[in-house]
Amino acid sequence: MKGFLQIHDPLKPKGHAVGIDLGTTNSLVAAVVSGTPGCLAADEGDARLLPSVVHYAQTGGVVVGARAVELLPQFPTDTIKSVKRFMGKSLGDVETKKLGAYRFVEGAGAVRFQVAGGQPVTPIEVSGEILRALKRRAEAHFAGKVEQAVITVPAYFDDAQRQATRDAGRLAGLEVLRLLNEPTAAALAYGLDKGVQGTYAVYDLGGGTFDVSILELVDGVFQVKSVGGDSALGGDDFDRAIAERALAAFSLDAPTPGEVARLLQLARAAKERLTDAEQTTLELDGRVFAFSRADFDGWIQPLLQKTGVAVRRALKDAGHQASDVKGVVLVGGSTRVPAVRTFVEALFGQRPLSDIDPDQVVALGAAIQADLLTNADRQDEVLLLDVIPLSLGLETMGGVVEKLIPRNSAIPIAQAQVFTTFQDAQTGMDVHVVQGERELVNDNRSLARFRLSGIPPMAAGMGRVQVTFSVDADGILSVKAKEQTTGVEQAITVKPTHGLSDEEVEQMLLDSIEHGEADIQRRLLVEQQVEAQRVLSDARKQLSENGDLLSPDERLAFEQGIAGLEALAASGTDHSTLKNAIHDLDERARPFVERIMNRAIAKAAVGHSIQSF
């Protein structure tokens, strides 16, 4: 894209390079510091996981992460989670809207969400907000610029989904050094850490996607032999399995969007409790649903069996049996579920490896790859041979697919094939590029179409056109068609039907530069408005429950403080003024809070002696 290239100076220092795990449920950013990879924590605490949730406020601001999660039940249609499942998809690709509160823009082709505060947003833009938040975290850590990143993607992401991820990185102001398959990143982290050799399987079950990769690790060469998986299967489906049973138990046939959002949050929390507990309950508005780990294990067995099918297919494609595998690496937060670990152990006949945090291992591998690509002293240290996840081909007469590059071919790769004209005096040829494993075009994913004109009129079968498919290290496809008699040539880099166009991306980048300072100020204001609402809610609650601890004058002053903060938050003042007002109300409430704590301690002490504490 010409405009995009012009605003980047190749001689300009790029700052630090990081690895990013752009996950369905949580995302992380990691970097190699003093030779050791590590995930970077947030400024405000030790949290390394950034919830992949984005809230769009009525004022036009954006909130990302834990604060967005808090806003989800109250604003379910304006808070996007699990956006990774929508990357590179059209509305027709979206599986179901059940248990989802999103407002889709109908007739838009690509998925677009109608949210508060302005124009519809695409999954690419939502993912861009998550990447911006991670970029800011890294820049705060290094106290300097971060402009380059290796971003991980599920191994089974198709070309449209990969392009969408790359576009999101560009929107966030990052030069995407490479799109790295998540299982490959995990193997890279384990391989460098342990110096392992042999055949390994990576079982990656995240919040929204499942991947399996069979890899050969020999003398510093990481070769992916095969990949498989399901880009719409993960821990979110475990949550839905619980939520659907709870809906049935509560007889909620038409739950509100707010009830759905809260129910999914409660289901996820219950699932996590069952990692250590045998029984748990889920409570929604006074209704209680009790179930056991055994119940949960039974509900998710069909999902686990689907992962088993993908594993067996990947082993077959690699020419291996489960007994040939030296080790199984667990990746993704959903592999913490005991039933998953039991299933994997039975599938491979051995206890899986899990001594690197499954939530962090992908980001750590991405950081290692980023360091390898940008550190001149390490660029020859490891060779990484990835594969293409789905076959690439083109349409021939009758709607049949001719595959030029089979799935699991090592990349980068280029393959060419010669085709002849079908009709007498044919002067042009339509090239329709598709991706998938089916034999007919209609059963595969259409990637691009273009026309080669200028073929000299000849008898049918005499015109010869060579079509070349080239896939780079990121899995991005370029197609070239050349008529061999005249040398007439047409070439394109395949852009997916449901990604953003170059012009859209360029305009968004230019807009982000032009409005950069205003956008930052608006983000800071929205963050303080969210904090003000939290403080006001807590203040009203305590006033209702413990207001008798205040004298009439104190209560009046406190209520005036609440009203003042509420008015200021709604006025659209600058963020620093609002921050100071929040601090002032906190200080004014300090004596009140101390009285509440004393009451709670006194209540707990009733009936106990000093010796019992």
3-class SS at 14?
coil
Which residue among 78, 158, 167, 182 is the active-site one? Answer: 182
225 and 171 in a common domain: yes
Which residue among 21, 125, 211, 395 is the active-site one? Answer: 21
Distance CA 394, CA 448 (A): 10
Number of domains in the chain: 3
User: Given this model, what pLDDT does residue 612 score?
Assistant: 43
Give the pLDDT mean for 324-333.
90
Average pLDDT, the chain: 82
Tokens of 471: 């896939």
Which residue among 84, 135, 271, 403 is the active-site one? Answer: 84
Task: Evaluate if residue 359 carries a pLDDT over 60.
Answer: yes
The answer as to whether 76 is a domain residue is yes
From 453, 470, 499, the end of a domain falls on 499
Give the pLDDT mean for 487-509.
63
433 and 315 in a common domain: no
Helices 338-348 and 293-318: crossing angle, nearest 10°?
40
151 and 56 in a common domain: yes
58 and 38 in a common domain: yes
Cα torsion 138, 140, 143, 147 to 10°: value is 40
Give the pLDDT mean for 88-114.
71
Task: Evaluate if residue 590 carries a pLDDT over 70.
Answer: yes
470 and 528 in a common domain: no
The answer as to whether 250 is a domain residue is no
pTM (predicted TM-score): 0.69
Degrees, nearest 5: CA angle 291-254-260: 55
The answer as to whether 283 is a domain residue is no
Considering the chain, what percentage of its residues have pLDDT values greater than 90? 29
Q: Which amino acid is at 264?
A: L
Task: Evaluate if residue 376 carries a pLDDT over 70.
Answer: no
| H or E, element range at 601 | helix 575-605
Range(s) of the domain holding residue 530: 515-612
Give me the phi and psi of 272, to 5 degrees please: -65, -35
279 versus 15: which is more confidently predicted? Answer: 279
Confidence of residue 30 (pLDDT cuts 50, 70, 90): very high
541 labelled catalytic? no
Give the pLDDT mean for 477-491.
84
554 labelled catalytic? no
23 and 61 in a common domain: yes
Give the pLDDT mean for 355-368.
91
Give the pLDDT mean for 519-537.
78
Give the pLDDT mean for 13-26.
85
3-class SS at 445?
strand
Give the pLDDT mean for 330-334.
89
Distance of CA 495 to the CA centre of its chain: 20
Give the pLDDT mean for 578-586.
89
The answer as to whether 239 is a domain residue is no
The answer as to whether 266 is a domain residue is no
3-class SS at 316?
helix
Lowest mean pLDDT among 10-24, 53-67, 90-104, 175-189: 90-104
User: Given this model, what pLDDT does residue 324 score?
Assistant: 93
The answer as to whether 433 is a domain residue is yes
Distance of CA 213 to the CA centre of its chain: 19
Confidence of residue 183 (pLDDT cuts 50, 70, 90): confident
Distance CA 162, CA 385 (A): 18
CATH of the domain at 397: 2.60.34.10
Give the pLDDT mean for 49-71.
90
Confidence of residue 445 (pLDDT cuts 50, 70, 90): confident
Confidence of residue 605 (pLDDT cuts 50, 70, 90): low
Nearest to 445 by CA among 493, 486, 389: 389
213 and 137 in a common domain: yes
User: Given this model, what pLDDT does residue 68 score?
Assistant: 92
Give the pLDDT mean for 290-316.
94
Nearest to 230 by CA among 215, 208, 213: 208
326 labelled catalytic? no
Task: Evaluate if residue 410 carries a pLDDT over 80.
Answer: no
User: Given this model, what pLDDT does residue 481 score?
Assistant: 86
491 and 356 in a common domain: no
Residue 94's DSSP bridge partners are: none
Nearest to 40 by CA among 185, 32, 524: 32
Q: Look at strands 50-51 and 26-33 and give their pairing.
A: antiparallel
Lowest mean pLDDT among 22-26, 368-372, 460-464: 460-464
From 334, 367, 385, the end of a domain falls on 385
221 and 109 in a common domain: yes
Distance CA 496, CA 160 (A): 5
The answer as to whether 10 is a domain residue is no
The answer as to whether 507 is a domain residue is no
User: Given this model, what pLDDT does residue 589 score?
Assistant: 86
From 441, 464, 499, the end of a domain falls on 499
417 and 330 in a common domain: no
562 and 413 in a common domain: no
Residue 270's alpha-carbon distances to 256, 266, 278, 290, 534, in angstroms, are 21, 6, 11, 10, 25
Which residue among 158, 204, 395, 527 is the active-site one? Answer: 204
Nearest to 494 by CA among 480, 483, 473, 509: 480
426 and 350 in a common domain: no
Tokens of 75: 């604003």
253 versus 556: which is more confidently predicted? Answer: 556
CATH of the domain at 578: 1.20.1270.10
Confidence of residue 424 (pLDDT cuts 50, 70, 90): confident
User: Given this model, what pLDDT does residue 4 score?
Assistant: 25
CATH of the domain at 77: 3.30.420.40
Distance of CA 504 to the CA centre of its chain: 21
User: Given this model, what pLDDT does residue 301 score?
Assistant: 96
Considering the chain, what percentage of its residues have pLDDT values greater than 70? 85
Confidence of residue 5 (pLDDT cuts 50, 70, 90): very low
Give the pLDDT mean for 556-580.
88
User: Given this model, what pLDDT does residue 99 score?
Assistant: 45
Confidence of residue 11 (pLDDT cuts 50, 70, 90): very low
21 labelled catalytic? yes
CB 149 within 8 A of CB 173: no
Distance CA 422, CA 427 (A): 10
Helices and strands: H and E segment counts in the chain: 14, 25
